[in-house]
């Protein structure tokens, strides 16, 4: 398996951990200096991102990565994809979002860790 495939596999594992509400797995996959920018412009540290996505108001049902593309330079990879997110939010029920997403991954000791990401704007 080449490096690009390993990055895609790691990104899919991150998506599965979101859907499962698996804080421990997210902690393993996210770099200690991780930052995420949401589709509404909010930015979260690793700790806050994990808390909001495993203990918060929003519960993930799934995240599908469509047509992921990866560019690798040295030990850094940039993944671009369109995502389909299905989430449960409070009393509003299930919502589906489609949007572009970019993630930056770094290879540390043979493991790919997500350093940063951004999703948005929403397409639907």
Distance, in Å, from the CA atom of 18 to the CA atom of 27, rounded to the nearest integer, reads 11
H-only helix segments in 21-95: 23-29, 46-54
Query: pTM, whole model, 2 decimals?
Result: 0.93
Q: Is residue 100 part of a domain?
A: yes
Q: Is residue 107 part of a domain?
A: yes
1 — pLDDT class (breaks 50, 70, 90)? confident
Q: Is residue 66 part of a domain?
A: yes
Q: What is the pLDDT of residues 16-58, one digit of tens each?
A: 999 999 999 999 999 999 999 999 999 999 999 999 999 876 7
The number of domains in the chain is 1
User: How do strand 111-119 and strand 30-37 relate by DSSP bridges?
Assistant: parallel
Q: Residue 46: give the domain boundaries.
A: 3-119
Residue 9 in tokens = 């596999």
């Amino acid at each position: 398996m080449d490096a690009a495939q390993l990055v895609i596999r790691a990104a899919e594992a991150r998506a599965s951990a979101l859907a499962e509400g698996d804080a421990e797995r997210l902690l393993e996959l996210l770099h200690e200096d991780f930052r995420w920018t949401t589709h509404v412009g909010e930015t979260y540290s690793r700790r806050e991102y994990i808390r909001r996505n495993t203990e918060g108001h929003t519960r993930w049902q799934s995240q599908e990565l469509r047509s992921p593309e990866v560019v690798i330079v040295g030990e850094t990879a940039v993944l671009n994809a369109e995502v389909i997110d299905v989430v449960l939010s409070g009393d509003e029920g299930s919502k589906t979002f489609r949007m572009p997403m970019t993630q930056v991954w770094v290879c540390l000791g043979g493991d790919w860790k997500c350093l940063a990401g951004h999703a948005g704007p929403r397409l639907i």
